[in-house]
Structure 1
Amino acid sequence: MEPRMGLPGDVDAVTRVIINTMPLDPQWDYRFPYRKQHPEDHYKYTRMLFEYFLDPEHDDWVVMVVEDSLEPGGPAEVVAFGVWDVSYINKRRYGPGYKPQDPVTEVEERGGKHRRDANHEHFDEFRRGQMKAYDKFFRPLGPEQMHLQILATLPQFQRRGHGSALCRWAMDLVRRDSLRHMSVMASPMGRELYTFLGFAWVGSFWIQVPGEEEKLVLQAMMYRPPTASRTSLEDVDGNCAVS
């Protein structure tokens, strides 16, 4: 099925997808190792984040969903979705002084600082690490870009093309809006899909709390439309330690 725009009424379905999909991703265990001990906190704050993304007032973000039948012959329900940072639209509208919207801060201000499902050191380091990696690999390319923040498909619906359909929707938007590229911080479970779709590997980065042996390795990847000029792109290939 073709992707459609996510609506505020999709919040419970999207929350179900993320909670049932993301434990396959190592970064979920890294950030939320206590989710089984505190399922009520895990659901509450995960749902709160997607309420933010799906709120039309938060127009720096767009959510696209794909529906399929959970049971043969049954009604179509949300089984996959993607979240993109499209703040380039407001940056074009309001100029370089525009301050992008921050969903993590919003959730923290609504009690997320005290959620019991998270390892807060890992949670904070993950956020800092992604920001440092973005600054190294993608910010030098300027504001004419979009970023794939989250992509998830229920495990029983994977390998059916839903993730590809969502990414291709965004790749088409990159071309239509004459953007330079779309970036993503890819986990091991996502890298194969992005490579198949023509994303280029830019560099590896790892997230590690000082003094700990445990670390999380992610991959910076980007999609550049065939018509994009490469003469103005900075050399951002390489590796990045964000400990």
Structure 2
Amino acid sequence: MKPRLGVPVDVEAVTNVIINTMPLDPQWDYRFPQRHQYPEDHYKYTRMLFEYFLNPLYDDWLVMVVEDSLHSGGPAEVVSFGVWDVSYLNKRRYGPGYRPQDRKSLLIAVMTEPSVEERGGKTRRDANHEHFNDFWKGQIRAYKKFFAPIGPEQIHLQILATLPEFQRRGHGSSLCTWAMELVRRDSLRDMSVMASPMGHELYMWLGFDSVGTFYIQVPGEEEMVVLQAMMYMPPKLRRAIAVRDADSGCLMV
């Protein structure tokens, strides 16, 4: 159950996990209401997104996977994975002039990337395009509001998914625990996540704090997505902040 680094050959397995897991999350219906009518589009463009995440050239992002046996006695296969923004590594390596790989461009790559557009990305039939674009724009606004002020010394959990039949076996927890240890080991300030109702309980159990609620809603529509901005801070930093708040702004570490 120990997480390992995801590599490009994992793309089929990771795509299978996301397609079979995310329909449990309300935001998936919000963005992809026509996925049952057009399963070929849904698979094709979902796979494209994870080709980007698993591509070593996009090293601001890191995919970790957990394997288990899908069948008794069978070989271990990917059943759970997480995607993190780890751009702090390149910011440390290249200094303040480093320009991170654009979050928005990558996350909506399956709609706008020229090579994807040539393959039909702007006309994919499984998505509500207005909802899709508003969802990512809303996430970017929320990230800037709740997490960007913390600075570059943090990681952000973008996606966490476990096959339904393997949930509540510790796979998602092991991925989060791996990342929480990374926060402590690399002296980062926090790990952030924008949690849906599906993940909120897990993050609370792991010790994350809710720092705000935000809503994604196209103007004039009643349908919306409600997400929680959540944050894990290492114990040492949490104690330091508590001392600062109790001592009228005098930070003690």
Alignment of 1:202-213 (within 5 A): 202-213=211-222
SS in 2 for 1:227: helix
SS in 1 for 2:193: strand
Counterpart residue number, 2:228: 219
Counterpart residue number, 1:7: 7
| Contact 1:141–1:233 (8 Å) recurs in 2 | no
1:76-135 Cα deviation digits (max 9, x unpaired): 100000000001111112223322224235332112222111101101110111011111
- How far apart are the structure 2 equivalents of 1:233 and 1:198? 21
| Contact 2:207–2:232 (8 Å) recurs in 1 | yes
AA matched with 1:62: L
- How far apart are the structure 2 equivalents of 1:132 and 1:105? 15
Cα deviation, residue 57, structure 1: 1.3
Match of 1:134 among 119, 143, 156: 143
| Contact 1:198–1:223 (8 Å) recurs in 2 | yes
1:171-211 Cα deviation digits (max 9, x unpaired): 00000110000000000010000000000010110000001
Alignment of 1:65-144 (within 5 A): 65-102=65-102, 103-107=106-110, 108-109=112-113, 110-111=116-117, 112-144=121-153
> RMSD of aligned C-alpha atoms?
1.6
| Contact 2:108–2:133 (8 Å) recurs in 1 | no
Cα deviation, residue 56, structure 1: 1.1
- How far apart are the structure 1 equivalents of 2:139 and 2:197? 15
* Residue 155, structure 1, aligned to residue 158, structure 2: no
* Residue 185, structure 1, aligned to residue 194, structure 2: yes
- How far apart are the structure 2 equivalents of 1:119 and 1:58? 27
Percent identity over paired residues: 75
TM-score relative to the length of structure 1: 0.93
- How far apart are the structure 1 equivalents of 2:214 and 2:70? 37
1:144-187 Cα deviation digits (max 9, x unpaired): 10000000000000000000000000000000110000000000
SS in 2 for 1:217: strand
- How far apart are the structure 1 equivalents of 2:125 and 2:173? 34
Counterpart residue number, 1:240: none
Cα gap change, 1:189 to 1:105, in 2 (>3 Å): closer
- How far apart are the structure 2 equivalents of 1:233 and 1:32? 45
Count of equivalent residues: 234
AA matched with 1:141: I
Q: Which structure would you say has the larger Rg?
A: 2
Query: After the TM superposition, which segments of 4 or more aligned residues of structure 1 sit over 4 Å from their partners?
Result: 231-234
| Contact 1:84–1:148 (8 Å) recurs in 2 | yes
Query: Which has more helix, going by share of residues?
Result: 2
Counterpart residue number, 1:146: 155
Counterpart residue number, 2:29: 29
- Structure 2 stretches lacking a partner, 5+ long: 246-253
Counterpart residue number, 2:241: 230
1:24-77 Cα deviation digits (max 9, x unpaired): 000000000011111111111100111111111111011000000111111110
